Amino acid sequence: MPTALVTGASAGLGRALAAALVRRRWTVIGDGRDPAALASAAGEAGFTAVPGDVTDPAHRAALADACPELDLLVNNASALGVSPLPPLARYPVADLEDVYRVNVFAPLALTQLLLPALTAARGVVIDISSDAAVEAYEGWGGYGSAKAALDQVTAVLGVEHPDLSVYAIDPGDLRTAMHQRAFPGEDISDRPLPETAVPAFLRVLDERPPSGRYRAADLLVTA
């Protein structure tokens, strides 16, 4: 069975992706910062839980130990940053550093660690992007610029490792806890559930298009 590592698998899109891969008979390892939430998700979906924070080098090493063979890495764990979203002129730099640490540095560090296993499998790397990476939304300068940096990291990795399939995928606005934090006090029930984006990711796995940046909405429309 192929093996996948999904970060941020305790809730939202990560949990939905992990569950979908298990249903496809993949061996799935998932991580998350909340051990109880991760254990609940793992028990329900059937994946192996390795709790911890992806910004912690020791935790990344534990993840690598858990999957010596790896076909798919999904860098899904993300941090929104300060809520309510502040303008860049007032963004606390220490908080912005935390956003970059989670959204850019940790995915790259984990990918570096797992490249030998992924290369041996001619595997897939999926980094979760956002429309805020390419659109200038007021208040989204911290999160959006971090996702833009992740997009560029993803693109360069794809060029440098042509034997791998390396994707940045924008799932669109989804009804998740992180998205709710971006709109405190607002009703986001009109946003689709994370499960609705999963078929786009599965299509990428099945068809292996050229490495690059893709929007889930486009993949779903053309499916």
User: What's the rounded Cα separation, in Å, for the pair 16 and 165?
Assistant: 21
Of 156, 178, 217, the C-alpha closest to 76 is: 178
Collapsing DSSP states into helix, strand and coil, what is residue 126?
strand
User: What's the rounded Cα separation, in Å, for the pair 173 and 44?
Assistant: 25
Q: Regarding beta strands 3-6 and 27-30, do their DSSP bridges make them parallel or antiparallel, or are they unpaired?
A: parallel
User: What's the rounded Cα separation, in Å, for the pair 111 and 31?
Assistant: 15
User: What's the rounded Cα separation, in Å, for the pair 207 and 107?
Assistant: 24
Report CA 139 to chain centroid distance, whole Å: 21
Q: Regarding beta strands 48-49 and 124-128, do their DSSP bridges make them parallel or antiparallel, or are they unpaired?
A: unpaired
On the 0-12 / 13-18 / 19+ scale of CB atoms within 10 A, 37 is middle
Question: Is 106 within 8 Å of 59 (Cβ atoms)?
Answer: no
Active-site residues, by number, are: 143
User: What are φ and ψ of residue 122, in 5° steps?
Assistant: 50, 55
